[in-house]
């Protein structure tokens, strides 16, 4: 007998189903985690009862995926538990599996991906059913597929990414054949939908465990090069003023950021993405077209990656906006006007997140003793952060909307609205960023009049 101490509701659901005559087990991730002594996430149940029976046996249910046999049962604790009828795969495409209902728990366990995930535990009898020795693998710290790894990866290539996540976050050694088959399967990752690939990465970035080990396995297996070239190009990329490559710095930094802020973790991963490729022009020559700055290049690459993954627009803007500025802070001793100008470009609202990433980068440098040019310096960063926070809080105009003078004032002065309004307001903002004392309506009205007059002269 072995007690995995599930929530009471798991035992209640199991009892109801068994009393109705249907064998029911706790399966999958929660059993695995409980066996490993980790806090268990969602407790899933597998049952011989068909979905329609499950819906009739419980008062409060949600049809989550009736076709797939999954019914959500809302228990007395208000939590929803997924109850899924035993299934087996009847057809696989590499992208997903077509499933059919099965008769036995053993059928159901046979279609699961890794031995550590193919474990079942009976919540009433408190016995483990573990036909592939998953508990022993967990104990020994080994990740292996159920059955032949080539076949199992080819059935659903998402298992490649799941293996990298499990091995990385649970610190498991990949069994030799599983690893060889995985590396061989990486080239087929292109068949997976962007959404599934993204969700896998999000699990790494929002999980309890530090993401770096799983990400390092992405790089080692070739999966990073295949689906995340913007990240892979940082592997082995030496950086000025730091030892080691951009990638190892990014991995240390990611671990130092909070799991509930995946956007910041994305920004840390992509911070070095703006480095120019070899041979890529970095400055505009005589006849060459304008070249994007490293900040701009980073922004474009971050946006390209996240768009490919079909991330939300909000996420893309947040991450790309951080990537644009994270590697171009103003100097700690720069004049106030430069800080205002920088903050005006960045946007006040973005400052707290940028500071979070900078501090993580500083701590990453400190972990490996990096100092000097290119690396962060604690005193300088603290000084800069103090000054930027003070600037952001100060009642100074950083946007044209915050000027003491507006387009409405221009109309009142008799000017007709047009594109030059915007141009003028930006020019006024520029003056005010230099000298905040200019920001009163009369002064700016006089400045505006002079600007308009000079403009008319130019045109005339
Ligand atoms: P986590 O919830 O941390 O992702 P998990 O193992 O619980 O880990 P789920 O996606 O919740 O993963 O899936 C629950 C169970 O379903 C797994 O433990 C595994 O047995 C099985 N499973 C999930 N995805 C696959 C897959 N692509 N191929 C085979 N079995 C799978
Ligand atoms: Mg789960």
Distance 31 CA to ligand 1 centre (A): 11
Measured from the CB, is residue 29 less than 6 Å from ligand 1?
A: yes
The best mutation among 132, 162, 172 to test binding of ligand 1, ranked by most ligand atoms within 8 Å of the C-beta, falls on 162
Residue 353's closest CA among 395, 320, 383?
320
Q: Which ligand is nearest to the CA of 70?
A: 1
Residue 31's closest CA among 143, 129, 113?
129
The best mutation among 94, 108, 117 to test binding of ligand 1, ranked by most ligand atoms within 8 Å of the C-beta, falls on 117
Please give the Cα distance from 274 to 285 (Å, whole number). Answer: 20
Phi, then psi, of 104 in degrees rounded to 5 = -125, 160
Q: What angle do CA 206, 61, 31 make, to 5 degrees?
A: 45
Beta-ladder partners of 439:
none
Distance 117 CA to ligand 1 centre (A): 7
User: pLDDT digits over 182-209, tens only?
Assistant: 999 999 999 999 999 999 999 999 999 9
Which atom from ligand 1 is nearest to the alpha carbon of 207? 3
Q: Which two tokens stand for residue 89?
A: 């795969």
Q: Which ligand is nearest to the CA of 200?
A: 1
The arrangement of secondary structure in 1-140, i.e. its CATH architecture, is 2-Layer Sandwich (3.30)
Please give the Cα distance from 445 to 451 (Å, whole number). Answer: 10
CA atoms within 13 A on the CB side of 227: 27
Residue nearest to atom 10 of ligand 1 (CA): 29
Task: Give, for 108, the enclosing helix (H) or strand (E).
Answer: helix 105-110
Residue 328's closest CA among 275, 253, 399, 383?
275
Three-state DSSP at 14 gives: helix
User: pLDDT digits over 247-281, tens only?
Assistant: 999 999 999 999 999 999 999 999 998 887 766 66
Residue nearest to atom 16 of ligand 1 (CA): 28
Distance 101 CA to ligand 1 centre (A): 18
Find the Cα–Cα–Cα–Cα dihedral 373, 358, 234, 213, rounded to 10°.
120
Report yes or no on whether pTM surpasses 0.85. Answer: yes
Encode the chain (460 residues) as per-residue pLDDT tens digits.
899 999 999 999 999 999 999 999 999 999 999 999 998 889 999 999 999 999 999 999 999 988 889 999 999 989 999 999 999 998 989 998 888 999 999 999 999 999 999 999 999 999 999 999 999 999 999 999 999 999 999 999 999 999 999 999 999 999 999 999 999 999 999 999 999 999 999 999 999 999 999 999 999 999 999 999 999 999 999 887 777 899 999 999 999 999 999 999 999 999 998 887 766 666 655 566 666 788 899 999 999 999 999 999 999 999 999 999 999 999 999 999 999 999 999 999 999 999 999 999 999 999 988 776 778 899 999 999 999 999 999 999 999 999 999 999 999 999 999 999 999 999 999 999 999 999 999 999 999 999 999 988 776 5
Contacts 24+ apart (CB under 8 A), 8-14: 8/77, 9/75, 9/76, 9/77, 9/79, 9/81, 10/43, 10/45, 10/81, 10/123, 11/123, 11/124, 12/75, 12/76, 13/45, 13/58, 13/73, 13/75, 13/81, 13/83, 14/45, 14/122, 14/123, 14/124
Residue nearest to atom 15 of ligand 1 (CA): 28
Strands 44-47 and 80-85: parallel
Parse the chain into domains and list their residue ranges: 1-140, 141-227, 229-278+293-394, 400-454
Distance 80 CA to ligand 1 centre (A): 17
Given a contact cutoff of 8 angstroms between Cβ atoms, the answer to whether 190 and 221 are in contact is no
**Residue 35 class from Cβ within 10 Å (0-12 exposed, 13-18 middle, 19+ buried)?**
buried
Find the Cα–Cα–Cα–Cα dihedral 446, 447, 453, 458, rounded to 10°.
170
The best mutation among 6, 87, 97, 112 to test binding of ligand 1, ranked by most ligand atoms within 8 Å of the C-beta, falls on 112
| Residue entry with tokens 């990400």 | 215
Residue 176: alpha-carbon gap to chain centroid? 29
Q: How many CB atoms lie within 10 A of CB 437?
A: 8
Distance 297 CA to ligand 1 centre (A): 37
CA atoms within 13 A on the CB side of 216: 15
Is the domain 141-227 a CATH 1.10.3720.10 member?
no
Q: What angle do CA 297, 302, 306 make, to 5 degrees?
A: 150
């Amino acid at each position: 007998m072995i007690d995995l101490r599930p929530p009471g509701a798991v035992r209640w659901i199991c009892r109801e189903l068994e009393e109705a005559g249907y064998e029911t087990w706790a399966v999958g991730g929660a059993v695995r985690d409980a066996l490993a002594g980790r806090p268990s996430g969602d407790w899933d149940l597998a049952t011989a009862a068909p979905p329609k029976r499950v819906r009739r046996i419980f008062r409060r249910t949600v049809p989550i995926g009736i076709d797939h046999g999954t019914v959500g049962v809302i228990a007395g604790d208000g939590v929803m538990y997924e109850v899924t009828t035993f299934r087996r795969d009847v057809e696989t495409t590499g992208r997903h599996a077509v499933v059919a209902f099965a008769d036995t728990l053993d059928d159901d366990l046979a279609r699961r991906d890794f031995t550590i995930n193919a474990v079942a535990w009976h919540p009433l009898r408190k016995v483990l059913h573990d036909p592939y020795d998953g508990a022993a693998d967990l104990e020994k710290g080994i990740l292996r597929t159920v059955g032949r790894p080539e076949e199992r990866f080819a059935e659903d290539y998402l298992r490649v990414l799941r293996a990298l996540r499990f091995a990385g976050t649970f610190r498991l050694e990949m069994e030799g054949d599983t690893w060889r088959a995985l590396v061989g399967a990486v080239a087929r990752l292109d068949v997976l939908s962007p959404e599934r690939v993204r969700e896998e990465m999000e699990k790494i970035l929002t999980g309890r465990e530090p993401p770096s080990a799983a990400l390092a396995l992405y790089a080692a297996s070739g999966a990073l090069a295949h689906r995340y070239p913007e990240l892979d190009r940082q592997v082995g990329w030496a950086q000025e003023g730091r030892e080691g490559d951009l990638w190892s710095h990014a991995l240390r930094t990611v671990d130092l950021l909070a799991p509930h802020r995946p956007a910041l973790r994305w920004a840390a991963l992509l911070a070095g993405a703006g480095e120019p490729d070899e041979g890529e022009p970095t400055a505009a020559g005589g006849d060459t077209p304008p070249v994007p700055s490293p900040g701009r290049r980073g922004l474009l690459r971050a946006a390209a990656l996240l768009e490919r993954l079909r991330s939300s627009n909000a996420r893309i803007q947040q991450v790309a906006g951080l990537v644009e500025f994270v590697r171009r802070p103003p100097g700690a001793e720069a004049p106030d006007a430069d800080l205002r100008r920088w903050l005006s470009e960045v946007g006040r609202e973005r400052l707290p997140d940028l500071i979070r990433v900078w501090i993580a980068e500083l701590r990453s440098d400190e972990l490996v003793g990096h100092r000097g040019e290119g690396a962060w310096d604690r005193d300088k960063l603290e000084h800069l952060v103090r000054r930027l926070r003070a600037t952001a809080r100060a009642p100074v105009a950083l946007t044209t909307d915050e000027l003491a003078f507006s387009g409405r004032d221009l109309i009142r002065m008799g000017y007709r609205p047009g594109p030059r309004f915007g141009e003028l307001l930006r020019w006024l903002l520029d003056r005010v960023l230099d000298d905040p004392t200019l920001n009163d309506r009369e002064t700016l009205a006089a400045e505006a009049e002079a600007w308009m007059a000079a403009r008319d002269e130019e045109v005339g």
